[in-house]
Every structure is written in C-alpha cells, then in structure tokens.
Amino acid sequence: MRQKILVLVLVFGLVTAAYPAGLQTGFRAWGGLALSRYQGLPVPVGIPELRYQNAYRTGLGLGAGLELMVPRVPLSLILGLGYLQKGTELEIYYLDTKTGSYYYRLGTLSQTGLVKIGPNLKIAPYLLAGYELAFILNHRGQSFGSSSGGPDSDLKPNTKKMDLGLVAGAGLEFRLDKVSPFVEFCYFHGLSNLSQGTGTLEYYPTIKSRLLLLSIGLKFVLKKT
C-alpha cells in the first residue's frame, strides 16, 4: 500500500506541475483478450519421471483511464485502472506424454502508469512503457499434489496481496475530432513472487505472472487547459 501511495503522489505532482503548460485531457475506455501464464514450477512430488510445464491460458481485460497529452511534443501520460484475468495451465507430463493439467485463475485490479510516445498524425503508431501495480482480488485453482481435474480451491489466503510489474507495448490510434479509436498490444511482466509457499501453495513456492494483452478502445477528448 505504501508503494501505491508513493507512486500516486509522485504522478499527481508531475501532473499538477505540467498542467500550466496547456495539457489536453482524454478519457480512455478499453476491453481485450489476455493470454497469461506463470513463471515458476512446483516442487516435484511422487513419480520422478513426471515433469511440469506452464502453458498460456486465455482471459479477459477491461479498464479505463485518463490520458494527459503534452502540446507540441509527441508525449502523453496515461493513468489507468482495469481488471485483468491472469493465470496459467500447468501441464503434467510423464516422460514425453501429457497426462493432465492443473488450471489456475488470478484476478487483479491493476493500476498502470504509462508513457506514450508517437507522432502527431491522423493515423498514429505509438509506443508504451511504464509500470503496473496489481492488487490480488482472487486466486483459484487446484491444490498442487491433488489429482488433476479435481475441484478448485481458494488460493488467495496463501497468495501475496500485491504485484509490482513492468509494462511495454505498442498501438495504433485513428485520430478523429472528438473520439479516437485505438488498438493496443501490451506485455505485462510481474516482478513479485506471488506465492507465500504455505498451505495450498506449499509445493508451489514461486509464482510470477506474465501476460499478453490485445485490446481495442476509444479515447474521448475532454478539454484543453
């Protein structure tokens, strides 16, 4: 929580300092498809010939935010808040034969701060880079070591409450008078180990999230100061 407050205070200070320069403000809303998986594998139990592999799992993402556009400079600051479905399919192999899977789903409330760089064109490509501060809303899956295909368990009590990560991406914006459609592709790289290594995650000591997000959205120009 202290990290989030520090980041928000810093961003607020930068935005407040920049407003006299004549920023143009836009409201963004988006939705998209996510592909995610974990980095980190559980501790092998039982048969030594078993091995595990993380595979991508699909999910959804949606959110909104404010874009603060600097005049005469190809630079914007985007502050966003969204819901992302993360997770993984943990595949089980006996030698080279797949014998089953464990499925995990991680829901996060993600606050992002992104720098957007791109030319001032009607059809404008751009690059994105910044941070993600994700609060864990839920984490469900099968307790590792139980039979695959069994009922889900609540893994949140043994999952850390927050993830801090990096974001990088690119997009294409179609600039109209008041509404500008856009399409974006972003990569979210979680830095924190989300597993506490206890209880239902005792045999899953390392979980770091990785996510690819393809989204489409609209930007509405609000005002110019």
Per-residue confidence (pLDDT) for residue 163, from 0 to 100: 97
Please name the CATH architecture into which domain 2-224 falls.
Beta Barrel (2.40)
Q: For residue 9, is pLDDT > 70? A: no
pLDDT above 90 covers a percentage of the chain that reads 68
Pick the range with the lowest mean pLDDT from 13-17, 95-99, 139-143.
Answer: 13-17
pLDDT band at 95 (very low <50, low <70, confident <90, very high): confident
Cβ–Cβ under 8 Å, residues 80 and 65: yes
* Alpha-carbon radius of gyration of the chain: 20
Separation of alpha carbons 187 and 3, rounded Å: 22
* pTM passes above 0.75: yes
pLDDT at res. 18: 46
- Does pLDDT of 40 surpass 60? yes
210 close to 191: Cβ distance less than 8 angstroms: no
Residue among 223, 189, 225 nearest 209 (CA)? 189
Q: What does each C-alpha distance from 18 to 22, 48, 68, 103, 225 come to in angstroms?
A: 8, 60, 9, 46, 10
Decide if pLDDT at 116 tops 60: yes
Task: Give the pLDDT confidence score for residue 20 in this predicted structure.
Answer: 47
23 pLDDT higher than 90:
no
What pLDDT is attached to residue 183? 98
pLDDT tier, 6 (very low <50, low <70, confident <90, very high otherwise): low
Span 46-62, pLDDT tens digits: 777 888 999 999 999 99
Which residue has better confidence, 11 or 104?
104
* pLDDT tens readout for residues 136-146: 999 999 877 65
Q: Taking the domains of the chain in order of start, what are their residue ranges? A: 2-224
The mean pLDDT of 31-52, rounded to a whole number, is: 90
Q: What is the mean pLDDT of residues 74-94?
A: 95
CA distance 160 to 198: 11
Average pLDDT across the chain, whole number: 88
For residue 222, the model assigns a pLDDT of: 84
Kindly report, residue by residue over 169-224, the tens digit of the pLDDT.
Answer: 999 999 998 899 999 999 999 999 999 999 989 889 999 999 999 999 999 988 65
What is the pLDDT confidence band of residue 17, given thresholds at 50, 70 and 90? very low
